[in-house]
Amino acid sequence: MMINKNLFILAITGIAFTSCIGNSGNDATPVLSIQTAPVVQPLTFNKPRKLAWATVKPVAIKPSVTRLDWEKLPEQAFDTSGFRPFKYPVQETKFDYAALPAKSLDINKLPSRPLIFKSYVLPPPKLVKGAKPELKNGNLYLLGVSDDESVSGTEVTRLLRDKDGFLWMACTYGLYRFDGENLLNFFILPG
């Protein structure tokens, strides 16, 4: 039975192969056909007809208004900061859209209060000698920043390279600027 199946598959393959060669007699080379360009015909339209508006019967239109149920819309938690999982579970806050007023919003009637800004003058930066950034276990640390062992291995939480090529490192205890050789401390947060 297995031999018959193999012979059948071989016969079908042989027929398909010989039909692909073409009808050129005993010549085994395939025939190349030159395709002609497609025929281009202009579009023809029927003559326009005028609509007799007097014969059109008016029909009353009843619009169907349905309220959108916001509770049934699909929702999915999305973190835009590099597609990392959330540190804490997402808390959902219910908002009643039906309680919103139907009139337009007047921005001038919203309660507001002025913003109060505090300005600080930072002391001049201090050169930190012997400190170097080092990568450990996938995290960047500043080693030798302080004589105090608790501050010595501060973890870098944010990095920024400015247009001048300086690398700014925000750490747990302060802000540092690294130029490849020197590390400048701009301020130290109390620990």
Whether residue 101 is contained in a domain is answered as no
Provide the β-strand partners of residue 159: 169
Whether residue 130 is contained in a domain is answered as yes
Count of all residues that appear for the chain in the document: 191
Whether residue 166 is contained in a domain is answered as yes
Q: Where does the pLDDT of residue 175 fall: very low under 50, low under 70, confident under 90, or very high at 90 and above?
A: confident
Q: What is the mean pLDDT of residues 132-161?
A: 72
Q: How far from 102 is each of 98, 105, 111, 133, CA to CA, in Å?
A: 9, 9, 19, 58
Q: What's the pLDDT score for residue 150?
A: 46
Q: Where does the pLDDT of residue 20 fall: very low under 50, low under 70, confident under 90, or very high at 90 and above?
A: low
Whether residue 114 is contained in a domain is answered as no
In this structure, what DSSP letter does residue 30 have?
P
Q: What is the mean pLDDT of residues 14-32?
A: 58
Whether residue 35 is contained in a domain is answered as no
The structural domain count of the chain equals 1
Q: Where does the pLDDT of residue 186 fall: very low under 50, low under 70, confident under 90, or very high at 90 and above?
A: confident
Q: What's the pLDDT score for residue 91?
A: 83
Whether residue 63 is contained in a domain is answered as no
> Collapsing DSSP states into helix, strand and coil, what is residue 169?
strand
Q: Where does the pLDDT of residue 88 fall: very low under 50, low under 70, confident under 90, or very high at 90 and above?
A: confident
- Find all residues with CB under 8 Å of 152, minimum gap 6, and list them: 143, 144, 145, 146
Whether residue 59 is contained in a domain is answered as no
For a pLDDT cut of 70, what percent of the chain falls above it? 74
Distance CA 1, CA 5 (A): 7
Distance CA 11, CA 5 (A): 10
Whether residue 85 is contained in a domain is answered as no
Picking from 130, 132, 186, the residue whose alpha carbon sits closest to that of residue 162 is 186
Q: Whole domain around residue 163: which residue ranges?
A: 126-188
pLDDT at 149 over 60: no
CA dihedral of residues 168, 170, 175, 180 (deg, nearest 10): -30
Structure token digits, residue 137: 């276990």
For a pLDDT cut of 90, what percent of the chain falls above it? 0
Q: What is the mean pLDDT of residues 176-189?
A: 81
pLDDT at 131 over 50: yes
**How many CA atoms, within 13 angstroms, populate the side-chain half-sphere of residue 23?**
0
The answer, as to whether pTM is greater than 0.75, is no
